[in-house]
Each structure stands twice: as C-alpha cells, then as structure tokens.
A and B are shown apart, each in its own frame.
Chain A
Amino acid sequence: MSFLKLDNVGRRFGALQALKDISISVEQGELRAVIGPNGAGKTTLFNLISGFFPPTEGSISFAGQPITAVSPNALVRRGIIRTFQITQVFLSLTVYENLRVAVETAMGLQLRPWISRATRAQVEAKVEELADIIRITPKLDRIVGEMSHGDQRVVEVGIALSRHPKLLLLDEPTAGMGDQETHHMTDLIRRLNKEQGITILFVEHDMAIVFGIADKITVLDNGTMLAEGTAAEISANPRVQSAYLGNALEETAV
C-alpha cells in the first residue's frame, strides 16, 4: 500500500483549473521529485497535500488514512511538514534560538513560564541533535538574518525536522543557491531520506539534482500529470521530452 496517495485530485480557483486528474502514489521511504515548468501547479499540489486548502475534486490519503479535508495543524501532528518557496525562519534570532523554539513547541511547552532542569537539558540535547543532522553546529550563535540564503534554507529544514516528519515537502529547496550551498542541501536531502528514513517530496528546477538523487519523478505540465517514473523512464518519455525537458536533458547529458 502506498504511503501517500492522491486519487484523481483536482483544484479549481473560480474558472481556473489549477490542477486536474492528479493521481500520485508515493511509497514509504521514497525520495520523489516533482518537476514542471512555472505555473504547472507544483506549489498548488504542495498546498493540497499540506492542507493549506482542500482539493475541489478527488481524495488524498496518508499512511492509510484519508486526509482530504484535514487542517494543516492536524497534518503536522500526523507527520506531514513542509517548507516554503520563500524561506520561513525567525530572522532576528540566532540559529540556536530558532531551533530551540521549534523544539520547545514540538514538545508542547509553549505555554510554560518555567521548565525543570531536566526538561531544559532535554530541549538542549534535541537542539544539538538537530544542529548535528543539518551540519550547522559551528554557526549556532549566528543571527539567521545575517546568514546566507543557503544557510537560512538549511535552518528552515532543521525547524521542520523538530516535528519528526514522516513526510517532508520541500518547495524548491535549492532555489537561488550557489554551487556549494546547493551541494550541501542536496546532500542533506539525501541523508534525511536514507539515514532518517523520511519520505520526501521536493519541487526542483535543477535537472542535475533531480536526476541525481530522486528515486522517482512526477512531471506536471499545465495543471495535469504528464508522466511518473524513474529517471531513466522519464528521460526516455517522448511526451516529457517534447513538452518540457528537451534542452535540460541535453545539458545534463554533456
């Protein structure tokens, strides 16, 4: 049985059909890329899965449970966490403070005006663990707003990890990054998937990354599903080639 399943899902905004007849099934532990030109409906798809708004047609299920009209809060509790195209972090706080408030709210402590020494130690250990996973420990004392875009993205992933995600939705995790930052983020995504066993869906424009790390690829175009398959299947798919990939494929082939 598939972990995340979309059945003929569609979303209409007034007269605009943003998504139509989307059927996707993602296995547990899979690393899935979602690609497609601008306006293909990739972010709309993420908004549907994360409960930002419900689909107007079809149904979505996660871990065997229907989640079609479940609120974002409830989805967070079930383990579906997302990051945003525009990085959402706490800018004037340090990396440490960003992760700390994430951990504390994950533990449900946000209304507690004091905590025991033991609980504080627990929070600190968890923060250190997260910092270690995202490899940001040397920069814990830095103000996030003064860091590079790439580092901010990494911190955002760290915040998302505080929720113990089962399914992580990353919306263009490497957008606007330099080579080294992109490499760092790609490596992080792969490690989260392989070492932490987190199922990941990510939107990505860089075809080298997509073909390099994704187990499977879903191609959207103009609100519909064009293809789904492994890197080899997708690159061999004539519809994908003519509609979208042409140039990008040639580039990666070089």
Chain B
Amino acid sequence: MSTSIDAKLALNRKSGGRVVAAMVIWVVLLFVPFWLPMIGGYTDLATRALIYAIAASGLNLLLGYTGGLSFGHAAYFGLGAYGAGLCLIHIAPSVPLAILGGTVLGGIAGILVGPMAMKRKGIYFAMITIAFGQMFYFIAVRWNSLTGGEDGLTGFSRVPLHIGGEAIKLGPERFYYLVLVLFALVMAIIWQILRSPLGHSFVAVRENTTRLRFLGVAVDKQIWVAFAISTFIVALAGTLNALLTGFASPDNLGWQLSGSFVVICVLGGMRSFWGPFLGAVIFIVAQDYLSSVTQNWMSFIGLIFVLAVLFFPQGLLGFIKGRGR
C-alpha cells in the first residue's frame, strides 16, 4: 500500500506544479496589452495567437485525445469566418450574433460531415477530411455572388458592442480581451470534458477501439461527438479571425491552414492540455518574425517542425513534462 500512497503524493506534487504554471500563463495573458508593446510586439499578434490556440485546442480534442487525424479542420475555421462576415453584412450589425452565427454554421457542417468521414479509419479518415475541406474551399471560390470568390468576403467590421444603451468600440485591446474571455471559456469546456466520462471515453477510443467495441460501446458515436465538438470550437476561432482581420478569405478554408493546425498541435504537444496553446504561440510569433525577414518563412516553419518532431516527438510540452519526471 505504501507505494500507492507515495505515488499519490508524487501526483499531488506534480499537479501542484501544474496549477502554478497555469496561473502564471493566465496572469501573463491578462497583461498582454501592457507588456507586449514594451518588447516590440503588438496586441493583434497576441490576439491572433489566441485565436490559433482556440482552433488548435479544439482540433486537438479530436487529434490528440480521440486519435482522429483530421487534415480538413480549416474548413470549419473558414465556415466560421464566412458565417460571421455574412451575419454582419446580411443579418444584423452585431458582433455577438456574428460569433454565434459563424460558430453554429461551422459546427453544423461538422455534425453533417462527421458520420461520412468516420466511415473510414486512419489515413483514409485523413483523406476524407481533406476532401471535404477542399469541397468547402471550392464552394467559397466559385460562389462569387455570396462569398466574393477568390478575393474573399469584405465589407464588414467589428461594430461597437451595445451594452445597456452604451456603444463600446472594439479597439485592438478590447477585442483582445473579448478573445481572451472566449479562449478561457473554450479551455474550461475542454478541461471539463477531459475530466468527464465523455473525455475518458475519447481517450479510450484513441487507445484501443477493439477493446471498447467488445465492451459494447458504440465507438463511432464517440468519434462523431468528438468531431462535432472540435468543429464548433474551430469555427468559433474562425469567426474571431474574421473579426480580427475584417475579411474572410478562401485560404481560411484551405488544406494549408488545416496542415498548420496539425503542425501547431504536434509542435506544442498533442497529449498536453496546454500543448496546442504553446504550439500556437510559437507558430504565430515565428511566422510574424520570419515573414518580416524572409519571403521563404514557410520553409523555416517546416524546418522547426521537422526538428521538433525529431527531438521532441511528444511535442515541446511533452518534452518539458518528461524532464520533470
């Protein structure tokens, strides 16, 4: 019995360190508009990093925790972006409505695509997710009258929030805090899922579908739910991206962006709660810095990715945690 008690104490020490680390992250994020400009950054950069962190964390629920390799999640990011823009243009000039509309649009698409993609496993699953992603991409490019075609959808902006009769303008700082609140909400939702029977069953799907099936569990239903939740979260990120940049582009739907989301998860650590966040920060900062230095920034990102996979196969966070053991 003493070994069990020792192990539990060690576990408590470890989770104690985790709580401190998480608190540091939240404090650092809370004061971004104050310290980031001092070191030569700008608030929109942090906003973009958070948006990518939302998308990657959502994808990772499927990728890292359920074991479903999707190379098509940008489709839902893009649908969120277009949904938000179209809501602002055609329905009502309201930021909350745009966020809600875009998220629901992308999420419903995910609910519909999920069962079709799940007909196949492994690499075939990945291929089907790409195919659906490209389908949405070509719809966006071709449906000129609605989507603005190759040029993307423009003509909308972050209209002021109306709270209690007062108009609150969403400047870069205020928008950052709006995104931060939504990021916190998403992380709380994912945290809650991972500690629930639903999340436990996701991990069991990743570990051994045969075992689960022979316990009488409908594995496909679990994957579908994971797929759907992840697309809602990725679509939410897409709406925020449209509000950040003021337009929605076909690139928001394309396979390159889907690949970037996967890279972010792998880079940061797919088995870690904070891994996708860390990956997103590295990716966005590297992209911002490298693209100001060279046009070939993508090849440097690729190099970073290859090195990370070679030397930190568990991702950066997996590597850091492994050293703590």
**A, B bound:** yes
| Complex contacts, A89 vs chain B, CB 8 Å | 208, 211
Instruction: Give residues of chain B (172-219) contacting chain A, Cβ–Cβ below 8 Å.
Output: 192-193, 196-201, 203-204, 207-208, 210-218
Q: Which of A73, A100, A104, A141 contacts B7 (CB 8 A)?
A: A141
A112 and B198 contacting across the interface, CB-CB below 8 Å: yes
| Complex contacts, A110 vs chain B, CB 8 Å | 197-198, 200-201, 217, 222
- Are A76 and B211 CB-contacts (below 8 A) given A110-B198, A138-B4, A141-B4? no
Q: How far is the CA of A115 from the CA of B208 in the complex (A)?
A: 24
B215 and A104 contacting across the interface, CB-CB below 8 Å: no
User: Nearest-CB distance from B286 to chain A (Å)?
Assistant: 30
What 3 A-B pairs are tightest by C-beta distance, nearest first?
A76-B216, A90-B207, A109-B197
Q: How far is the CA of A101 from the CA of B196 in the complex (A)?
A: 10
Instruction: Pick 18 A–B contacts, CB within 8 A, sort by A.
Output: A72-B214, A90-B204, A93-B203, A101-B204, A105-B204, A105-B216, A106-B215, A109-B197, A110-B198, A110-B201, A111-B198, A113-B193, A114-B192, A115-B197, A138-B4, A139-B4, A140-B4, A163-B215
A105 and B215 contacting across the interface, CB-CB below 8 Å: yes
Q: How far is the CA of A76 from the CA of B216 in the complex (A)?
A: 6
Q: Does B221 contact A (CB under 8 A)?
A: yes
- Are A114 and B3 CB-contacts (below 8 A) given A82-B214, A141-B11? no
A112 and B196 contacting across the interface, CB-CB below 8 Å: yes
Q: Does A137 contact B (CB under 8 A)?
A: yes
Q: Does A9 contact B (CB under 8 A)?
A: no
Q: Which of B3, B192, B193, B215 contacts A102 (CB 8 A)?
A: B215
A163 and B216 contacting across the interface, CB-CB below 8 Å: yes
User: Nearest-CB distance from B193 to chain A (Å)?
Assistant: 5
User: Nearest-CB distance from B3 to chain A (Å)?
Assistant: 6
Chain B interface residues (CB < 8 Å from chain A): 1, 3-4, 7-8, 11, 192-193, 196-201, 203-204, 207-208, 210-218, 221-222, 225
Q: Which of A100, A113, A138 contacts B198 (CB 8 A)?
A: A113
Instruction: Give residues of chain A (65-122) contacting chain B, Cβ–Cβ below 8 Å.
Output: 72-73, 76-77, 81-82, 84, 88-93, 97, 100-102, 104-106, 109-115
B189: nearest chain-A partner, CB-CB: A113
A92 and B7 contacting across the interface, CB-CB below 8 Å: no
Q: How far is the CA of A104 from the CA of B199 in the complex (A)?
A: 11
| Complex contacts, A170 vs chain B, CB 8 Å | none
Q: How far is the CA of A132 from the CA of B3 in the complex (A)?
A: 16
Instruction: Give residues of chain A (10-47) contacting chain B, Cβ–Cβ below 8 Å.
Output: none
User: Nearest-CB distance from B83 to chain A (Å)?
Assistant: 24
A138 and B197 contacting across the interface, CB-CB below 8 Å: no
Q: How far is the CA of A90 from the CA of B212 in the complex (A)?
A: 9
| Complex contacts, A138 vs chain B, CB 8 Å | 1, 3-4
A105 and B4 contacting across the interface, CB-CB below 8 Å: no
- Are A93 and B207 CB-contacts (below 8 A) given A104-B197, A105-B201, A141-B11? yes
| Complex contacts, A73 vs chain B, CB 8 Å | 213, 216, 218
Q: Does A159 contact B (CB under 8 A)?
A: yes
| Complex contacts, A100 vs chain B, CB 8 Å | 200
B214 and A76 contacting across the interface, CB-CB below 8 Å: yes
A111: nearest chain-B partner, CB-CB: B198
User: Nearest-CB distance from B211 to chain A (Å)?
Assistant: 4
| Complex contacts, B208 vs chain A, CB 8 Å | 88-91
Q: How far is the CA of A140 from the CA of B201 in the complex (A)?
A: 19
A101 and B192 contacting across the interface, CB-CB below 8 Å: no
| Complex contacts, B211 vs chain A, CB 8 Å | 88-90, 159
| Complex contacts, A142 vs chain B, CB 8 Å | 7
Known: A73-B213, A101-B197, A105-B215. 5 other contacts (CB 8 A): A88-B210, A93-B207, A102-B215, A139-B4, A162-B215
B201 and A101 contacting across the interface, CB-CB below 8 Å: yes
| Complex contacts, B204 vs chain A, CB 8 Å | 90, 93, 101, 105
User: Nearest-CB distance from A136 to chain B (Å)?
Assistant: 10
User: Nearest-CB distance from A90 to chain B (Å)?
Assistant: 4
Q: How far is the CA of A142 from the CA of B217 in the complex (A)?
A: 25
| Complex contacts, B3 vs chain A, CB 8 Å | 138-139
